[in-house]
C-alpha cells in the first residue's frame, strides 16, 4: 500500500481518507471502512501480540476472514464487554477523543454496598497520580448483601480510569463490563463473539466523520 506515493507496510499507519491518496496494489482506491464489535472475554489482552505470551483479543477473530483491524481504544485484561475494531485509524481517533467521541457505559460490580455519598464522590472525582479522574454519571443498578453493581458513564478514556477512581475511595472492582459506546449496545452478543456494524451504526458513533 502507498499513501501519497509513500510505501507503507505498517497496518496501523494513520491515514486521512478524506485527504490522503491511497494506492493498494496499484489501484487508486481507499479501503472501505469496516468496524466490528467484539464481546471481549475476561483474561485477554487488547493487543496484536504480547511479549509475555498472553492470549490476545485477536484469538476471537481467528477464522473470520477479516482484513487487518486495530482495536479502537482498549479494555484491560481483567475487563470485558464491548470492544470496537476498525481499519480506519483516523475514524478510530475520533471515537476515542474526549471532544468528539461518544460516551462509554460500564456495569461495575464493587466489593461493598453503594450509598449516595459514594455515587456523589465518583461524579465529583479525585486526583490520582496527578490526574483528575471523574465519572460523567453514576447510578446504582442492584445490591446484594455485601456488594453492588453500578452503572458508570465516562466521557473520556484514561488508563484504567474506573478502577483507579474507585480505588481512590477505597472501593475494589470485582467485575467490569463495558455495555455501551454511545447508542451502540452490547446487547445479546455472546461472550467471545463479534459482528460487523452497519453503516448507520458506524455513522451514529461519530456523526461528524465522513
**What residues are labeled active site?**
76
CA distance 185 to 156: 18
CA distance 156 to 9: 31
**106, 177, 197: which is closest to 206 by C-alpha?**
197
**DSSP code, position 83:** E
8 Å CB contact between 208 and 100:
yes
CA distance 201 to 100: 16
Compute the Cα dihedral for 52, 56, 58, 59 and give only its sign. positive
How far CA 157 is from CA of 93, 106, 178, in Å, comes to: 12, 12, 12
**DSSP letters along 11-76, please?**
TT----TTT--EEBTTB--PPPP-EEEEEEPTT-BSSS--TT---BGGGGGTTS-----EEES---
Amino acid at each position: 500500500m502507498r499513501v501519497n506515493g509513500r510505501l507503507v507496510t505498517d497496518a496501523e499507519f494513520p491515514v486521512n481518507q478524506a485527504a490522503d491518496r491511497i494506492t493498494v496494489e496499484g489501484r487508486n482506491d481507499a479501503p472501505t471502512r469496516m468496524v466490528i464489535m467484539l464481546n471481549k472475554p475476561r483474561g485477554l489482552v487488547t493487543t496484536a501480540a504480547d511479549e509475555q505470551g498472553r492470549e490476545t483479543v485477536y484469538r476471537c477473530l481467528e477464522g473470520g476472514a477479516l482484513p487487518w483491524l486495530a482495536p479502537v481504544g482498549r479494555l484491560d485484561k481483567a475487563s470485558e464487554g464491548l470492544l470496537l475494531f476498525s481499519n480506519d485509524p483516523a475514524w478510530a481517533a475520533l471515537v476515542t477523543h474526549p471532544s468528539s467521541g461518544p460516551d462509554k457505559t460500564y456495569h461495575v460490580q464493587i466489593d461493598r454496598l453503594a450509598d449516595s455519598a459514594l455515587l456523589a464522590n465518583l461524579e465529583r472525582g479525585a486526583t490520582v497520580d496527578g490526574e483528575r479522574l471523574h465519572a460523567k454519571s453514576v447510578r446504582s443498578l442492584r445490591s446484594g448483601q455485601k456488594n453492588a453493581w453500578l452503572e458508570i458513564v465516562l466521557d473520556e478514556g484514561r488508563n484504567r480510569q474506573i478502577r483507579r477512581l474507585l480505588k481512590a475511595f477505597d472501593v475494589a472492582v470485582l467485575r467490569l463490563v463495558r455495555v455501551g459506546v454511545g447508542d451502540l449496545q452490547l446487547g445479546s452478543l455472546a461472550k467471545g463473539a463479534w459482528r460487523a456494524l452497519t453503516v448507520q451504526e458506524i455513522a451514529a458513533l461519530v456523526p461528524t466523520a465522513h
